[in-house]
Structure 1
């Protein structure tokens, strides 16, 4: 792990990611694998949450035991592909509030266009975890983080499945205070802004729209 970059190389995650990359993986298996990896990433991205001792009574004795303290959580999905990661994260963090940012990439300019934005009113009081499978050019991630900060979000983490070096550099330059968690840094972006070798369009593969 380098400063504000956490590259998760756990064998189980890498195994599941390999099958997600394969063009032979069916839509239902793609969704299942993404959900499973996202559950594991939920553990990783919350590894540094503060805890405090609380008094509880077990069937045998009264004891002090650690419980999470500090800011509450808000998961923010960058639509539409982010919802595949959101499901897995909520399996592990069911009490988290949820926000959505709708962005699509203009095919000519590769710039993000916002079409939807809805987050909890108290987002400034929460640790925000932004989820999106692919960090390609970084434009959508940067736009999402800009919007969240304008709304008052302070503590923000970004979680993705795959990152391109170009998008990683752009996001770190624009938001050096935001930690990034990913499972792989791939080789490069092609002329259409897709990650190579990547896994194709995550949204299309997740929903079977191509």
Structure 2
């Protein structure tokens, strides 16, 4: 089992757009657009070592062997509902990827993740999974989602979030030390309600304009 890994994506474009997203006056449409742009930028880092295969093509001058990715072997797994905000940008970069969904909600009293939906593509043992959720706060939802995904025996699992709290990272890697985490920021910590601070508020509400 590998050591816990945290990949902090510090590209200036990612950090610039994240700053704009944090602003409380940012509109729903603006927040959604920025998240889509950031997810595309993060996808380049997350898929840096994605597998390729050689195929024969013909250029205007001659035939050649050239690499292509097998997007069908990649599965983006959205933790509902906020994870859907990451999907469009990721799929713009890897349009052939399959998509799975895990429905979880956080009990407001215990902060424990409760599952209500789970749907994955077939033949998961042949696929590389990239789990999407904008916030890694307490880490309970992420831990529960990855636990369920491991039951499908995928080739690999990576977890991607926009923001992470130190408490969430500790909790997540305490349960899944073999799963690398990719994030654009590691914030100060959690408040008494389990929200990341300084954070950007409730990602789901800001994406869908429900608050």
Using the size of structure 1 for normalisation, the TM-score is: 0.95
Cα-to-partner distance string for 1:111-150 (whole Å, 9 max, x where unaligned)? 0011111111211210000000000000000000000111
Mapped contact 1:50–1:70 kept (Cα < 8 A): no
After alignment, is 118-127 or 191-200 more displaced?
Answer: 118-127
Q: How does 1:112-127 map to 2 (within 5 A)?
A: 112-127=113-128
CA positional deviation for 1:69: 5.5
CA positional deviation for 1:205: 0.5
Using the size of structure 2 for normalisation, the TM-score is: 0.95
Q: How does 1:20-59 map to 2 (within 5 A)?
A: 20-59=21-60
Mapped contact 2:28–2:209 kept (Cα < 8 A): yes
Name the residue aligned to 2:195.
194
Cα-to-partner distance string for 1:60-89 (whole Å, 9 max, x where unaligned)? 111222222698101100000000001111
Task: Give the count of matched residue pairs.
Answer: 209
After alignment, is 39-48 or 138-147 more displaced?
Answer: 39-48
Alignment partner of 1:109 is 2:82 = no
Mapped contact 1:71–1:125 kept (Cα < 8 A): no
Which blocks of at least 5 consecutive residues in structure 2 are unaligned? none
CA positional deviation for 1:101: 0.4
SS in 1 for 2:147: helix
Counterpart CA distance in 2 for 1:150 and 1:63 is: 41
Counterpart CA distance in 2 for 1:28 and 1:68 is: 32
Mapped contact 2:127–2:156 kept (Cα < 8 A): yes
Output the aligned Cα RMSD.
1.5
Counterpart CA distance in 2 for 1:91 and 1:70 is: 12
Where has structure 1 moved over 3 Å in runs of 4 or more? none
